[in-house]
Amino acid sequence: MDKLRITGGRRLSGSLRVSGAKNAALPILAGTLLTDEPVRLANLPHLHDVTTMLELLGHLGAEVLVDECMAVEIRAREMQTLRAPYDLVRTMRASFVVLGPLLARFGRAEVSLPGGCAIGARPVDQHLKGFEALGARIDMADGYVIAEAADGLRGADFRFDLVTVGGTENLMMGAALARGTTVLRNAACEPEIVDLGNFLNAMGARVRGHGTPEIVIDGVERLHGCAWRVMPDRVEAGTYLIAAAATGGRIRLTDVHPGDLTAVLDKLAESGAEIATGPDWIELDMHGRRPRAVDIDTAPYPGFPTDMQAQYLALNAIADGTSHVTETIFENRFMHVQELNRLGANIELASVSHAVVHGVPRLKAAPVMATDLRASFSLVVAGLVADGTTVIDRIYHIDRGYETIEEKLQTLGADVERISG
Ligand code: UD1
């Protein structure tokens, strides 16, 4: 298993192009199942999760072509099977979003109950309730969800009991080919939902209100092929900004939408960073200063993203002062606290959802272990500022979400190396 060796103490400095967004790419890839025509996708990040989704599409019967510019063309002409197997869905919860497209286009889908990051129970009850509202019959057998709508899905008015990103995406895709109009209430407003809605519209769907809590979808009979460029990854962008701030550094990110990162940029400014933005770039300069402690409460978009909580916790760990970090989206998303404390941080878990961070001036290198995707990057942030050499084990978690992490960090001047084996 690969490890990452980081010797701390260097200020990050330089310019970085942000990759395409994993969390937009995955539902968009699933959305290619909605048409029998070719769909061409650009700016897909080279990540394990994307490969897993491509493998799943191939398993279902789609033809997947990768060209010399790394653009991917997918054509889901005929399916070999409508069953998404445990082996593929287990490793990545996001693959559950193939259910909507398969059900809408073919009237049936069998999808294994998902696995994914070990951050809480993460049920799919809202997805299933939504498809029932759209007229599907849902059964469970041997760990699989069996969904059927022999005469197709029909539009309905559905309200989510809680805000779910994957649930909203799954239902949007199902409703795109349903008979009549669907209204999704209490829908997620994340920028990735907007990207998916715009992508569906480029295929001929009639989606409006995406990016607000009320999405209206007029079902159409068929969708056609299109070319689409996946939006920039706001989580990757925010992560590198936080890492740069922790080291007192200065970076410029390009190919990014600053408007998608408002909550994070506001917090970084509170922490003491000087920030400038343009239409597709962000500059952060910490002027070598120690960050100030700031409180964080995660919330659905436009609130502070849960996917950047762990990284910010690491920043707060070396900040001047005490801060409170509250996680409201997932239970059990503080697994990194124990590892950060091994590096000399002073973080108390006041409850399963609330950490009190007493900032310390220095961290000290130690061997640590990655636990889940985003939590792992908090260890990278800590390693970048710790005295000595930190070795992070199990970095396959990081590789699920961060493209060529060691190369990107090296570009910014970090002393980082991947140890294979
Ligand atoms: C997506 C993101 C993930 C991010 C999360 C929250 C992708 C591929 N992943 O995950 O990076 O951390 O949004 O911003 O886009 N829930 C239910 N029932 C359901 C569905 C969800 O109770 O049917 C709960 C979950 O357990 C969780 C909360 O709702 O506590 C939010 O989950 P959801 O928004 O669905 O997250 P994902 O789509 O899995």
Give the distance (Å) from ligand 1 centre to CA of residue 387: 36
Q: Which helix (H) or strand (E) holds 41?
A: strand 39-42
Give the distance (Å) from ligand 1 centre to CA of residue 303: 15
Atom of ligand 1 nearest to the CA of 162: 29
Residue 338 pLDDT > 90? yes
The band of 116, judged by pLDDT with boundaries at 50, 70 and 90, is very low
For the residues 132-136, what does the mean pLDDT come to? 98
Tokens 């979003």 sit on residue: 97
The band of 114, judged by pLDDT with boundaries at 50, 70 and 90, is confident
Atom of ligand 1 nearest to the CA of 306: 12
pLDDT at 47: 92
The band of 122, judged by pLDDT with boundaries at 50, 70 and 90, is low
Atom of ligand 1 nearest to the CA of 127: 23
Give the distance (Å) from ligand 1 centre to CA of residue 306: 10
Mean pLDDT is lowest, of 143-157, 279-293, 329-343, for: 329-343
pLDDT at 121: 57
Give the distance (Å) from ligand 1 centre to CA of residue 148: 24
69, 117, 189, 226: the active-site residue: 117
Tokens standing for residue 383? 């390693």
Average pLDDT for the chain: 95
Mean pLDDT is lowest, of 56-70, 161-175, 312-326, for: 56-70
Most informative mutation of 127, 164, 169, 186 for ligand 1 (most atoms within 8 A of CB): 164
Residue 167's alpha-carbon distances to 54, 126, 191, 214, in angstroms, are 20, 6, 15, 14
Instruction: Give the pLDDT confidence of 254-277 residue by residue, as tens digits.
Output: 999 999 999 999 999 999 999 999
Q: Name the more confident of 115 and 363.
A: 363
Instruction: Give the pLDDT confidence of 181-216 residue by residue, as tens digits.
Output: 999 999 999 999 999 999 999 999 999 999 999 999
Q: Name the more confident of 155 and 87.
A: 155
Mean pLDDT is lowest, of 89-93, 220-224, 353-357, for: 89-93
Q: Ligand 1: residues whose CB is within 6 Å?
A: 23, 26, 93-94, 120-127, 162, 164-167, 192, 306-307, 329-330
For the residues 148-168, what does the mean pLDDT come to? 97
Cα 405 to Cα 132: distance, rounded to the nearest angstrom: 41
Residue 316 pLDDT > 50? yes
Q: Which of 369, 421, 363, 359 is nearest to 391 (CA)?
A: 369
The band of 115, judged by pLDDT with boundaries at 50, 70 and 90, is low
Which residue's C-alpha comes closest to atom 12 of ligand 1? Answer: 307
SS3 string of 81-99?
Answer: CCEECHHHHHHCHHHHHHH
Percent of the chain with pLDDT over 90: 88
Residue 120 pLDDT > 60? no
Asked if 103 contacts 174 with a C-beta cutoff of 8 angstroms, the reply is yes
For the residues 42-47, what does the mean pLDDT come to? 94
pLDDT at 416: 97
Q: Which of 285, 227, 242, 277 is nearest to 257 (CA)?
A: 277
Most informative mutation of 165, 236, 377, 397 for ligand 1 (most atoms within 8 A of CB): 165
Residue 119 pLDDT > 70? no
Instruction: Give the pLDDT confidence of 18-35 residue by residue, as tens digits.
Output: 999 999 999 999 999 999
Q: Assess whether 117 carries a catalytic annotation.
A: yes
Residue 134's alpha-carbon distances to 101, 160, 194, in angstroms, are 13, 13, 22
